[in-house]
């Protein structure tokens, strides 16, 4: 489901004209633009239509632009690239914040409180809530948008839930491109909520400026294994649910992490990772999180670390795209498809080592490419 029309209906309602899913195709239903203007036949938009909608803040066309970007249809690829190229000069002005945490840490509740604080300051906030994908239907499981009702009805906020599609790092395949769309639309802060700790969190680290790890007090030693690696990536650690009987435990956890952080290499050059406490329910400590992020942005922009990180991210993005396309081409190759089932069986039955099977496949693919 996409964002909401003027009047800001409840997040539980579907925006007219975009309930058709994420295929980017026009429907025959009447729709309204973000300013309440009827689009008679929900026609296919031109690149100019998309650009005007994005830059003017038309929420319907912004949502449709994201749908176009997310589409896997080859017929939409060329136009999506035209849109991205055209808005590139308008991007780069937002603060990109990645938010991850253990299951049950209250990430969505915190994002709602944090986003509401930012909008109260006059900031435009976009939220990319990447839900786990169902292995059966491929759709989102958690439906984060329905869990942020207060923020979802805020005119300065835009929540875009997307299924992760099984992508490592808990982020959807087109999250990077969607970030650019939001920046061109004038959003000051873009929050990327990942599926959660336990996957390759370096993926979200590679596309945001600031990485926030949300934890809860008294979670137990069983979480230490999944926390260790991601702690080293964090620019701040937030002990959430610091309210009621949890206050003392939260303060204790914060102090323990503060001590541990002094022995770890900072995730960002020239910045010392800090541990904070907050309650998403009461709002206590939420403003301090934003203050800390502002200090980070000011410090890293002055030192040049901010721009260097973004440059490296752009370079790595190119390589990731190339790797993805090569993987798709490899498995789509007819000879690979012919050989793979038999090699799979041999490996699973212990008849040949995996390295031998891989070498056979690579040589077959290389020979085939050479022949063509």
pLDDT in tens, 319-365: 988 988 899 899 999 999 999 999 999 999 999 999 999 999 999 99
pLDDT in tens, 208-257: 999 999 998 876 543 444 456 788 889 999 999 999 999 999 999 899 88
Q: Which of 19-28, 90-99, 211-220 has the highest mean pLDDT?
A: 90-99
Measured in whole angstroms, the distance separating CA 165 from the mean position of its chain's CA atoms is 12
- Average pLDDT taken over every residue of the chain: 80
User: Are the beta carbons of 233 and 267 closer than 8 angstroms?
Assistant: yes
Half-sphere exposure of 284 (CA within 13 A, CB side): 13
Q: Report pTM.
A: 0.80
According to DSSP H, which parts of 35-171 are helical?
47-56, 59-70, 74-87, 107-120, 149-152
Q: Could you tell me the pLDDT band of residue 19, with boundaries at 50, 70 and 90?
A: very low
The span from the CA of 350 to the CA of 153, in Å, is 57
Overall average pLDDT of the 149-153 stretch? 88
Question: Residues 6 or more apart from 205 whose CB is under 8 A from it?
Answer: 98, 211, 233, 267
337 or 13: whose pLDDT is higher?
337
Q: Could you tell me the pLDDT band of residue 3, with boundaries at 50, 70 and 90?
A: very low
Overall average pLDDT of the 273-285 stretch? 95
The span from the CA of 247 to the CA of 285, in Å, is 12
Q: What is the structure's pLDDT at 71?
A: 83
pLDDT in tens, 36-78: 444 434 678 999 999 999 999 899 999 999 999 888 788 888 9
In this structure, how many other beta carbons lie within 10 angstroms of the beta carbon of residue 363? 10
| Domains observed in the chain | 1-89 (1.20.5.170), 91-303 (3.40.50.300), 311-371 (1.10.287)
Q: Which of 10-14, 59-63, 161-165, 365-369 has the highest mean pLDDT?
A: 59-63
Q: Could you tell me the pLDDT band of residue 119, with boundaries at 50, 70 and 90?
A: very high
Q: What is the structure's pLDDT at 202?
A: 72
- The burial of 223, by beta-carbon neighbours within 10 Å (0-12 exposed, 13-18 middle, 19 or more buried), is given as middle
DSSP character at residue 216: -
Q: What is the structure's pLDDT at 166?
A: 43
User: Are the beta carbons of 281 and 270 closer than 8 angstroms?
Assistant: no
């Amino acid at each position: 489901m996409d964002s909401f029309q003027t009047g800001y209906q409840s997040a539980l309602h579907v925006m007219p004209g975009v309930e058709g899913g994420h295929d980017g195709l026009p429907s025959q239903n009447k729709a309204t633009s973000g300013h309440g203007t009827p689009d008679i036949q929900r026609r296919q938009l031109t690149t100019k239509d998309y650009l005007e909608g994005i830059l003017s803040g038309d929420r319907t066309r912004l949502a449709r632009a994201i749908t176009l970007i997310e589409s896997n249809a080859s017929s939409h690829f060329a136009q999506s690239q035209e849109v991205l190229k055209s808005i590139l000069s308008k991007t780069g002005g937002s603060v990109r914040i990645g938010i991850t945490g253990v299951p049950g840490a209250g990430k969505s509740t915190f994002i709602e409180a944090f986003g509401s604080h930012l909008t109260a300051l006059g900031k435009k906030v976009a939220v990319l809530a990447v839900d786990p994908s169902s292995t059966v239907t491929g759709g989102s499981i958690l439906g984060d948008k329905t869990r942020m009702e207060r923020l979802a009805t805020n005119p300065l906020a835009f929540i875009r839930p997307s299924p992760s599609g099984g992508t490592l790092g808990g982020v959807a395949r087109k999250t990077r491109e969607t970030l650019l769309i939001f920046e061109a639309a004038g959003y000051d802060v873009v929050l990327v909520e990942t599926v959660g700790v336990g996957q390759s969190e370096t993926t979200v680290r590679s596309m945001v400026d600031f990485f926030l790890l949300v934890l809860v007090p008294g979670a137990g030693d069983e979480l230490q294994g999944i926390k260790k690696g991601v702690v080293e990536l964090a620019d701040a650690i937030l002990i959430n649910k610091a309210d009621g009987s949890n206050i003392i435990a939260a303060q204790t956890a914060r102090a323990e992490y503060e001590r541990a952080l002094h022995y770890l290499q900072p995730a960002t050059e020239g910045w010392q990772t800090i541990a904070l406490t907050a309650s998403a329910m009461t709002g206590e400590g939420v403003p301090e999180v934003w203050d800390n992020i502002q200090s980070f942005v000011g410090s890293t922009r002055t030192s040049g670390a901010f721009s260097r990180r973004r440059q490296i991210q752009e370079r790595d993005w190119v390589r990731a795209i190339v790797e993805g396309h090569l993987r798709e081409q490899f498995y789509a190759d007819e000879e690979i498809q012919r050989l793979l089932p038999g090699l799979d069986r041999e490996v699973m039955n212990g008849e040949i080592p995996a390295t031998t099977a891989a070498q056979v496949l690579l040589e077959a693919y290389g020979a085939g490419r050479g022949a063509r």
